[in-house]
């Protein structure tokens, strides 16, 4: 499973390994975008409060730029766990609320509460998405990403062929064909 596939499009499932590889790639891309947005600055010539505000704005812009790939990775991992992609919404809402509160210069206690809530939700999601094994076998989002047959020198290439997307109908159709084949063999 390619990392590129994990970041674009919401169909299918990804394994924990692909999730972590995608996460590291997105963290690196986030750092690069953050540094590009922040630009070359001399910290000695800018007051500390202004420097913090610039860093917060750069972080918010970085989050907006990388929102789509992060959401797609979370959705595909949730699909692997047998959950709907809508469960990714609570992962991103507290972080954006915290970012907008800091830009709106909300009271410090409100900002800190939003930041703590954001960190707590993020931690729960990273443990859930990163360490819990997905459902075994096919589910409504496709086949188990760990059970795809790998092409070797002795195995024919057709065993590793997969359709790029799976929907509930494809899995149901595949299961129906498999059952029909078993009935035909018995008869």
Under DSSP, the state recorded for 142 is B
Q: How many Cβ atoms from other residues are within 10 Å of residue 90's Cβ?
A: 11
Question: 14-28, 36-50, 127-141 — which is least confidently predicted?
Answer: 36-50
Three-class SS state of 167: coil
pLDDT digits (tens, 9 = 90+) for 83-97: 999 999 988 888 788
pLDDT digits (tens, 9 = 90+) for 103-160: 787 888 888 888 898 899 999 999 999 999 999 999 999 889 988 654 444 444 444 4
Full-model pTM: 0.72
Residue 187: which pLDDT band, with cuts at 50, 70 and 90? low
pLDDT at residue 169, as a whole number: 52
Phi, psi of 81, deg, nearest 5:
-85, -5
């Amino acid at each position: 499973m390619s990392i590129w596939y994990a970041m674009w499009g919401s169909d299918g499932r990804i394994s924990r390994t692909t999730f972590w590889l995608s996460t590291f790639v997105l963290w690196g891309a986030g750092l690069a975008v953050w540094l590009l947005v922040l630009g070359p600055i001399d910290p000695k010539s800018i007051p500390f409060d202004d420097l913090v505000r610039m860093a917060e704005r750069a972080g918010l812009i970085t989050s907006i730029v990388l929102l789509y790939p992060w959401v797609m990775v979370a959705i595909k991992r949730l699909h692997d766990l047998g959950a709907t992609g809508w469960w990714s919404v609570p992962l991103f809402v507290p972080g954006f609320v915290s970012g907008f509160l800091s830009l709106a210069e909300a009271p410090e206690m409100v900002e800190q509460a939003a930041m703590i809530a954001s960190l707590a939700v993020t931690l729960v999601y990273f443990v859930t998405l990163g360490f819990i094994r997905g459902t075994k076998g096919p589910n409504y989002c496709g086949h188990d990403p760990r059970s795809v047959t790998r092409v070797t020198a002795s195995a024919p290439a057709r065993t590793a062929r997969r359709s790029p997307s799976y929907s509930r109908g494809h899995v149901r159709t595949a299961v129906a064909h498999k059952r029909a084949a078993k009935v035909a063999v018995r008869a």
